[in-house]
A and B are shown apart, each in its own frame.
Chain A
Amino acid sequence: MEIIVAKKILNANDQIAQANRARFDASRVLAVNLLGSPGAGKTTLLEAVLPGLAKTRKIAVVEGDLATSRDAERIEAIGVPSMQINTAGGCHLDANMVSRAIGTFELDSLDLVVIENVGNLVCTAGFDLGEHLRVVVLSVTEGDDKIEKYPPMFQKADALVLSKMDLLPHTNFQVERMRENLQRLSSQARLFPLSVQTGDGIDAFVDWLESAMRRDRRDR
Chain B
Amino acid sequence: MHEIALVQDLMDTAVQEVGRAGLTGRIVRLKLSVGRLSCASSEALRFAFDVLSPGTCAEGASLEIDEVDGLCRCRACGSTRPSSDLLASCAECGSPDIVLEGGRDLVLTSIDVEDS
Chain A residues with CB below 8 A from B87, complex form: 148, 151, 181, 184-185
Instruction: Please tell me which one of the listed residues B10, B13, B86, B112 contacts residue A1 in the complex, with CB atoms under 8 A apart.
Output: B112
| A-B pair number, CB within 8 angstroms | 83
Instruction: Please tell me which one of the listed residues B2, B21, B86, B89 contacts residue A155 in the complex, with CB atoms under 8 A apart.
Output: B86
Chain A residues with CB below 8 A from B1, complex form: 91
Q: Mostly helix, strand, loop or mixed at chain A's interface?
A: mixed
Chain A, Cβ-Cβ closest to B109: A6
Asked whether A143 is an interface residue with its Cβ less than 8 Å from the other chain, the reply is: no
Question: Is B112 within 8 A of A2, CB to CB?
Answer: yes
Chain B residues with CB below 8 A from A94, complex form: 5
Contact-size category for A: 20 to 34
Known interface pairs A7-B13, A151-B87, A155-B86. Does A1 touch B96 (Cβ–Cβ under 8 Å)? no
Question: Is A8 within 8 A of B106, CB to CB?
Answer: yes
Chain A 1-35 interface 0/1 with B at a Cβ cutoff of 8 Å (1 = within): 11111111110100000000000000000000000
Q: How far is the CB of A170 from chain B (nearest CB, A)?
A: 28
Interface contacts beyond A9-B106, A10-B9: sample of 4 additional A-B pairs, CB < 8 Å, sorted by A:
A1-B25, A2-B110, A9-B9, A90-B2
